[in-house]
Amino acid sequence: MTICDAHCHFFSANLFRVFGRDVQAPGDAAETLPARLKFDPPGDDVALADRWMAELDRNVVQRAMLIASVPGDEASVAAAVKRHPSRFVGAFMFHPGLPDAAARLDHALGPLGLRTVCLFPAMHQVAVDDERVDAVFAAAGRHRAAVFVHCGVLSVGIRQKLNLPTRVDIRLGDPLAVAAVASRHPNVPVIIPHFGAGLFHEALMAAATAPNIVFDSSSSNSWTKFHPGLTLKDVFARAIDVAGPARVMFGTDSSFFPRGWQKPIYEAQLAALTALGVTASDQQKIFGGNFERIFA
């Protein structure tokens, strides 16, 4: 079975330097912060791209979407995609409220060749129905790109480990608002990660409303604790029932080394789908085919 991972974070040297400014880390934060976090230092962008490539090969993963995980880190992921264009799809965290947002967006989707704009409305406190977000969807349509919108519960692991506050307004991460803007841009693939991250009911309603919404199955899906009795098997069953197997896309939320690619997440999701009796052809859509169709 072909495996493509729709959700991996590219923890570049620049990312650690951005966080280093927040904690006033001494020396080069690309070296000192990983040591503090018990991560491997990333090296330069090409070296990190090569390590990800080797990690995909070791786990027989065909392609992966790499996400630049702080605003302004687009060039790091672009370097990785340039290094291995047949294996990586580039995505980037985007803050639509910044003064240079429009120029940065066109540069990322144009010359840099990135394919997915990642919005975090609860973190950046720009509502999904804001006209600046509508402009993001319009730009994605012009560039044949996708838009990823994080909904529901949001935590940033690195910030937690560094004891940095993450100020969020989770009211802004509403899948129903995503459905409204997705419906206005029907040709733009719209990815809701983690099945809505706790707003599962609303995410299902959004997917039923807007047929261009796709679920990303990534992470441990620990948000199910907000839905007593709900299991990963149940989540897949309901998502497939509402959206169909062509609109569920496998992801892990892998990020740092030495942990690398999170094979246990793949194994848990495979076990859940197998227990449901999902056919081999539909499993292939979820684990690779939908990714290949969206990011042809």
**DSSP element (H, E) containing 190:** strand 190-193
In CATH, 4-294 is 3.20.20.140: yes
What pLDDT is recorded for position 104? 96
State residue 161's pLDDT score. 86
Rounded to an integer, what distance in angstroms lies between the CA atom of residue 181 and that of residue 178?
5
Residue 156's pLDDT is: 84
pLDDT of residue 164: 85
- Provide the edge-to-edge strand list for the sheet that holds 88-94: 4-10, 63-68, 88-94, 116-119, 146-149, 190-193, 213-216, 248-249
> What is the CA 150 to chain-centroid distance, rounded?
8
- The residue whose two tokens read 């990190």 is 48
Give the pLDDT of residue 142: 97
Q: Would you call 77 helix, strand, or coil by DSSP?
A: helix
Flag whether the pTM goes above 0.95: yes
Contacts of 237 (CB under 8 A, 6+ apart): 276
Cβ–Cβ under 8 Å, residues 202 and 175: yes
Which tokens go with 53? 């490539």
Query: Looking at residue 60, what is its pLDDT?
Result: 98
Where do the structural domains in the chain lie, given as residue ranges? 4-294
E strand or H helix at 251, and its extent? none
pLDDT tens series, the chain, 296 aa: 999 999 999 999 999 999 998 888 789 999 999 999 999 999 999 999 999 999 999 999 999 999 999 999 999 999 999 999 999 999 999 999 999 999 999 999 999 999 999 999 999 999 999 999 999 999 999 999 999 999 999 888 888 888 888 889 999 999 999 999 999 999 999 999 999 999 999 999 999 999 999 999 999 999 999 999 999 999 999 999 999 999 999 999 999 999 999 999 999 999 999 999 999 999 999 999 999 999 99
Please tell me the predicted confidence (pLDDT) of residue 24. 83
